[in-house]
């Protein structure tokens, strides 16, 4: 079993298709992270003179656009393959970067934010669908570790690196770098597999009966209802997995908007100290992803999730009440370890529930559920911070992860998903 898992993992990591997907993931997340964290908030506030309310709405439109299109694009992947779906996304993202770099009109910047959300919406359905199709169940933990490593390194390094090219509120060099990266992404996307090759990668073959039904062209409503009926019949997911997916990202969304505010105004960290703390927690997560992914493939997901949920559920509320910087650094490391355990195991658990025949559509649907958790968590986070104090989002996030731990106990006790 160990040799089989090792061979499967090596096969995945050397697949040209997977390398293409990971390259696109890294560059797009680099560009997105640089725009959303380092460029857009400051650029819209200082250069364009927009209010915080306008900046908030602009960024919210990006998240809404990203989440709204994930499910339909997952369905489309199953129908036309990876190349055109990803090209649609990266060209929209390219247009977004170009608009922001060329204009300072508020309406155009808002349009660019919408395009950025719509453009990045195919990224996760395409990457996860394609990577898990190549990996299979034997290496699902390993491939999820690699995918999330590409995401974390991209989204983390984008804001840090691009800051070196923003001097005296001059963004020309930064925009040139982002446009150059998007040119590379478009070129790579052109070489992704089309429909027929995509079906071969996913192990799907169109039978004679299926081809005959396709030629008969039933109405769109009949095709859609038949499609969802087929997905329901082939799903292997416990019903508890759906609230668990929402809850997992809801807990993360509670923290994302307030982390910087908490670090700067409560802990009084300098930008350099804050970067060091982020790197500390992120490095532990990134370094842990590959070995944990391999262990998940060998031993299953159950205990990694149990331990990861409990570690994070305890550490997050403690972080909200801690003011001693050395202790904060230790707690951040514990949270990084918790998520290093959660990320590969959680996504391997979800991957096992997805039917091979409709992999793209179901991944898109699942990612939409997760994205909704992030949206609602982000909305609630600021309210909790303002009404109950800086500790409140951390306390609620830890409580939500404790609830997720309980849900996972029931999922593993009555496994409609095979929990290894």
Please tell me the distance from the alpha carbon of residue 204 to that of residue 133, in angstroms, as a whole number: 10
3-state secondary structure of 170: strand
Tell me the backbone φ, ψ of residue 193, rounded to 5 degrees: -70, 145
* Cβ proximity of 142 and 15 under 8 Å: no
Measured in degrees and rounded to the nearest 5, phi and psi for residue 390 equal -60, -25
| Among 180, 243, 235, 178, CA closest to 43 | 178
Domains of the chain plus CATH, in order, are: 1-203 (1.20.1250.20), 235-420 (1.20.1250.20)
Q: Please tell me the predicted confidence (pLDDT) of residue 317.
A: 92
Handedness of CA 139, 143, 144, 149 (dihedral sign): positive
Q: What is the pLDDT of residue 374?
A: 77
| Residue 26 pLDDT | 93
Q: What pLDDT is attached to residue 313?
A: 93
Tokens of 68: 């709204």
Query: Tell me, what's the pLDDT at 156?
Result: 77
The H-or-E segment that residue 88 falls in is helix 82-102
At 414 the pLDDT is 56
* H or E segment and range at residue 403: helix 392-413
The b-or-e profile of 153-177 (16+ CB within 10 A means b, else e) is bbbbbbbeebbebbeeeebeebbeb
Please list the ranges in the chain whose pLDDT falls under 70: 1-14, 41-42, 45-47, 50-57, 59-60, 71, 74, 135-141, 169, 198, 201-237, 257, 260-261, 264, 271-272, 354-361, 363-364, 414-420
Residue 369 to residue 169: CA distance in whole angstroms: 38
Q: How many CA atoms lie less than 13 Å away from 49 in the CB half-sphere?
A: 1
- How far is it between the farthest Cα atoms of the chain? 69
Mapped onto helix, strand or coil, the DSSP state of residue 235 is coil
């Amino acid at each position: 079993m160990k040799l089989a898992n090792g061979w499967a993992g090596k096969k995945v990591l050397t697949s040209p298709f997977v390398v293409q997907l990971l390259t696109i993931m890294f560059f797009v997340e680099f560009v997105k992270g640089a725009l959303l964290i380092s460029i857009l908030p400051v650029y819209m506030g200082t250069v364009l003179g927009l209010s915080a309310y306008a900046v908030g709405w602009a960024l919210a439109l990006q998240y809404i656009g990203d989440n709204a299109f994930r499910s339909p694009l997952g369905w489309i992947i199953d129908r036309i393959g990876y190349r055109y779906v990803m090209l649609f996304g990266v060209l929209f993202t390219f247009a977004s970067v170009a608009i922001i770099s060329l204009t300072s009109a508020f309406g155009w910047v808002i349009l660019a934010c919408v395009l950025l959300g719509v453009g990045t919406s195919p990224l996760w359905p395409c990457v996860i669908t394609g990577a898990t199709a190549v990996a299979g169940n034997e290496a699902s933990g390993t491939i999820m570790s690699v995918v999330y490593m590409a995401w974390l390194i991209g989204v983390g390094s984008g804001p840090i690196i691009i800051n070196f090219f923003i001097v005296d509120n001059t963004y020309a060099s930064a925009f040139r770098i982002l446009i150059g990266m998007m040119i590379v992404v478009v070129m790579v996307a052109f070489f992704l597999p089309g429909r027929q090759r995509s079906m071969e990668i996913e192990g799907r073959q169109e039978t004679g009966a299926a081809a005959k039904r396709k030629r008969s062209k039933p109405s769109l409503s009949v095709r859609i209802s038949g499609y969802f009926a087929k997905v329901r019949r082939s799903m292997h997911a416990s019903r508890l997995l759906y609230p668990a997916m929402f809850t997992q990202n809801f807990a993360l969304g509670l923290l994302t908007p307030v982390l910087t505010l908490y670090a700067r105004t409560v802990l009084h960290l300098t930008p350099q100290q804050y970067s060091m703390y982020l790197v500390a927690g992120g490095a532990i997560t990134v370094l842990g992803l590959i070995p944990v992914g391999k262990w998940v493939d060998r031993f299953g997901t159950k205990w990694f999730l149990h331990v990861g949920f409990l570690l994070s559920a305890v550490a997050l509320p403690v972080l909200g009440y801690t003011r001693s910087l050395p202790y904060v650094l230790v707690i951040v490391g514990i949270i990084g370890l918790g998520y290093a355990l959660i990320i590969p195991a959680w996504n391997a658990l979800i991957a096992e529930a997805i039917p091979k025949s409709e992999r793209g559509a179901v991944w898109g649907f699942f990612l939409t559920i997760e994205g909704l958790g992030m949206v609602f968590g982000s909305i609630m986070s600021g309210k909790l911070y303002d009404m109950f104090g800086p500790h409140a989002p951390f306390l609620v996030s830890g409580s939500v992860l404790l609830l997720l731990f309980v849900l996972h106990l029931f999922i593993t006790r009555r496994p409609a998903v095979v929990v290894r």
